[in-house]
Amino acid sequence: MTKYFLYSGCSLETSASNYLISVESVFKALGVELREIEDWNCCGASISYIGANHLSQVVLNARNLALAEAQGGYDIVAPCSSCYIVMNQVNRELGEDPALMQKVNSILAEGNLTYKGSVKVRHVLDVLYNDVGVETIKSRVKKPLKGVKVGGYVGCQTVRPYGEYDSVERPVVMDRLIEALGAESVNFSHKIKCCGSGIFLTELDYGYELAGNILESATSKGAKVMTTACPLCQLNLEAYQERVNKALKKSYNVPVTFITQLMAVAFGLDPSKDACLDRNIIPVEKALKTAA
Amino acid sequence: MAQKASSKYDPTFAKEVFEKVDSGEEIKKCMQCGVCAASCPLADKMEFSPRKIFTMIRAGERQKVLASKDIMLCTSCYTCIVRCPRKVPVMEVMHGLAHHALRSGFVPRKESSKFGKAFWDCIYKTGRVDEGVAARNYYLADGLVAGAKRGLEMKDIALNMLKHKRMNIMSAIPGIQGKKIKNIATLQKMLDKAEAMGKGGSK
């Protein structure tokens, strides 16, 4: 059985609990074993530069990488795009800069840890597409999402910055996964445009504008459901949708799911227990009725 | 006799950026093409685009750069990094500048700075971020009354999250802290050491 470390990250513990539960159900259904890195810490996300210098952020992530290496060395799969990009970037920097690695190891020694650089960091989309594969996913589909027009919103960090598993400018992996579930993937211009990320807490007006542009772009091309693979993208597009409507005088009412929620539904798993559809604020059941 | 180059041109700030700002030396590679500015999702909200910030650093505009709201408007989308033809990690430079500005007593964006500090505080104290605690401490940064008011403004979002089991009500209660990781004490030692050994640190 293929094993991975699931680095769930902080947001999957609460605001994106529907992502975590659906990831776990889907991987189980696909016969993939997920383990937790014991005593993992936060990756720092993209905002920790405000509170800490770069070396602190590197050390924060190197600790997780060292723990993973010591606990079995499986690839780390991160469902959160921010966790993915931060950990992946640090892993790269350490691999390319022996002096940095040495410095970091002298700091990790405080916790009797050391990192050699053998662990790989992967996004959940990468593992689903390249390791599990579209054919296996197709063969697991029991209730195809026939006729459902899905706007696959990739977001920005999900495929960046190295283009390791998909194009950084014209990604296709999300669309191929949507199609594997029997749904129709909608092409729209704002597929990888930034949703506003953390500025939703501090610069609300700018956030409404960025999220509004994405919702407009996807729905104007016919998307009835949107799907993402990033907790913050999902939150900004869904939980704030009513506010975006008010601010921009619009009336969007489009459910925003995690790709693994769609997979759980298409696999015929329990819509609430496994897909966690009841944790979505904008009801999605009606839009997926072909698969019900 | 040809006139001497302007004596106003002051390289000390550029030197400060190279030496003390994380990724600061990378701006040496910038050729002012403007692709970063054209790619930034919030460029139209900026007075000084990243390209202009880089020029201002070279021109010695310390005060203007470190006080500029624009150095803290980055959403970390990596578009500038992906597109820069000279491989300048523009985003990283902006992050480095923001950290350096805050460390030097500037507060380019008050709200972002409060939120970022609340976020990092969670990491330092517990090893993880409890979203409820981070948001609560951010709202309470200006005191209880202001915090309650800000919190109420967000109650539609909070209630929806709560109703759909995506928020922990306990985290909203003042004084409550997130659960600590097992080895929090050694993590703190590591972070202290890293802060001191990093660029602009004391060692």
Q: Please state, in angstroms and rounded to a whole number, the distance separating the CA atoms of residues B88 and B80.
A: 9
pLDDT at A183 over 90: yes
Question: How distant is the alpha carbon of residue A106 from its chain centre?
Answer: 32
Give the SS3 label for residue A248: helix
Contact A156 B183 (CB under 8 A): no
Predicted TM-score (pTM) of the model is 0.96
A45: distance to nearest CA of chain B, Å?
9
Q: Residue B85, Cβ neighbours under 10 Å: how many?
A: 9
Q: Please state, in angstroms and rounded to a whole number, the distance separating the CA atoms of residues A79 and A98.
A: 29
From the candidates A36, A41, A60, which should be mutated to test the interface with B, based on the most B CB atoms within 10 A? A41
Chain A, nearest residue to B171 by Cα: A14
From the candidates B166, B171, B184, B199, which should be mutated to test the interface with A, based on the most A CB atoms within 10 A? B166
H/E segment holding residue A77: strand A76-78
Check if the beta carbon of residue B43 is closer than 8 Å to that of residue B34: no
Residue-level pLDDT at B103: 96
pLDDT at B24 over 90: yes
Residue-level pLDDT at B5: 56
Contact B117 A47 (CB under 8 A): no
Band of residue A70 on the pLDDT scale cut at 50, 70, 90:
very high
Band of residue B4 on the pLDDT scale cut at 50, 70, 90:
low
CA angle B139, B143, B145 (to 5 degrees): 85
* Alpha-carbon torsion, ordered A273, A74, A158, A62, to 10 deg: 120
Check if the beta carbon of residue A95 is closer than 8 Å to that of residue A117: yes
pLDDT at A125 over 70: yes
Please name the amino acid found at residue B39. S
Nearest to B167 by CA among A217, A235, A206, A75: A235
Q: Please state, in angstroms and rounded to a whole number, the distance separating the CA atoms of residues B87 and A56.
A: 23
Chain B, nearest residue to A15 by Cα: B166
B3: distance to nearest CA of chain A, Å?
43
First to last CA, chain B: 47
Residue among B99, B132, B190 minimizing CB distance to A53: B99
Q: Looking at A104-108, A231-235, A258-262, B196-200, which range is the least confident one?
A: B196-200
> Region B21-40: what's the mean pLDDT?
97
Q: Please state, in angstroms and rounded to a whole number, the distance separating the CA atoms of residues B77 and A17.
A: 23
Check if the beta carbon of residue B157 is closer than 8 Å to that of residue A239: yes
> Region A69-95: what's the mean pLDDT?
97
Question: Structure tokens of B38?
Answer: 């054209």
Q: Please state, in angstroms and rounded to a whole number, the distance separating the CA atoms of residues A269 and A140.
A: 11
Residue-level pLDDT at B25: 97
Give the SS3 label for residue A121: strand
Residue-level pLDDT at B202: 61
Contact B120 A52 (CB under 8 A): yes
From the candidates B69, B129, B189, which should be mutated to test the interface with A, based on the most A CB atoms within 10 A? B129
pLDDT at A292 over 80: no
Residue-level pLDDT at B178: 86
Q: Please state, in angstroms and rounded to a whole number, the distance separating the CA atoms of residues B73 and B77.
A: 11
Asked if the C-beta of A130 comes within 8 angstroms of chain B's C-beta atoms, the answer is: no
Residue among A39, A161, A193 minimizing CB distance to B41: A193
Q: How would you class A265 by CB atoms within 10 Å of its CB: exposed for 0-12, middle for 13-18, buried for 19 or more?
A: buried
Digit-coded pLDDT (tens) for B69-120: 999 999 999 999 999 999 999 999 999 999 999 999 999 999 999 999 999 9
